[in-house]
Amino acid sequence: MFVHATLVAILSTVIVLLCQAPVYAASEPEVRVSRSGGSLLANAEFVVDAPRAEVVRAFTAFDRLAELNPSIVASRAERLDDGEVRVTTELGDCVLMFCKSVTLVERVSVLASGNIRSEVEAAGSDFRRGSSSWTFVARGAQTVVSYQSSMQPDFWLPPLLGRQAMQSALKRQVAASIETLERRYNECASCAQ
């Protein structure tokens, strides 16, 4: 996704993706957040201990994003005639003492590779513009997930809301999402045996 709504929104692109429990990720998530003009830029890379197909399936279950991320209040998906999906995500979270609820509307493309690209639709959204991409690379029984986004919010963000606070919040969300994905995969794998 940003936690202060923009951070949350970016991750929820699906973000994509959280719960609140210890993280058993294969590695510490790498997260970078910055501001450029009126846009918030986020990059994240993390490893999930689950096969690529399972991770892609979780990230493309657009109607069920709230199950993966406690900052996502609800998500709705509408299949479009051109094969893309309009995803509307209701988000709410706090960074430091700044709390915000926002709506993010995106036109999402799931590429043949399983990777995801999205563009913000300003109509009905609390964002003027933005885009994001998710890539999924198999590494043995694990999946390396890379996320990049640029979002321009259509709401005020306190200038004192520092990059470090936003970065920490996003990292917390990513870590929780990893835990949720891995727990679900392990539960399903043990049921199948």
Q: Tell whether 74 is covered by a domain.
A: yes
Per-residue DSSP letters for 5-67? SHHHHHHHTTT----SS----SSPPEEEEEEETTEEEEEEEEEESS-HHHHHHHHT-GGGGGG
Written as tens digits, the pLDDT of the chain (193 aa) is 333 333 334 333 323 322 222 333 456 788 888 888 888 888 989 999 899 999 999 899 999 988 887 788 999 999 999 999 999 999 887 777 778 889 999 999 999 999 999 999 999 999 999 999 999 999 999 999 999 999 998 987 777 666 666 677 777 777 777 888 888 877 876 655 5
So what's the pLDDT on residue 173? Answer: 77
So what's the pLDDT on residue 174? Answer: 79
**Is-contact 166 151, C-beta < 8 A?**
no
So what's the pLDDT on residue 35? Answer: 81
Q: Tell whether 162 is covered by a domain.
A: yes
Q: Tell whether 183 is covered by a domain.
A: yes
**Domain of 53, in residue numbers:** 6-192
Q: Tell whether 28 is covered by a domain.
A: yes
135: CATH? 3.30.530.20
What's the pTM value of the predicted model, to 2 decimals?
A: 0.78
So what's the pLDDT on residue 163? Answer: 63
So what's the pLDDT on residue 28? Answer: 78
Q: Tell whether 75 is covered by a domain.
A: yes
Structural domains counted in the chain: 1
Q: Tell whether 1 is covered by a domain.
A: no
Q: Looking at the DSSP assignment, which residues form a beta bridge with residue 101?
A: 92
Q: Tell whether 157 is covered by a domain.
A: yes
Nearest Cα residue to 137 out of 31, 18, 51, 76? 51
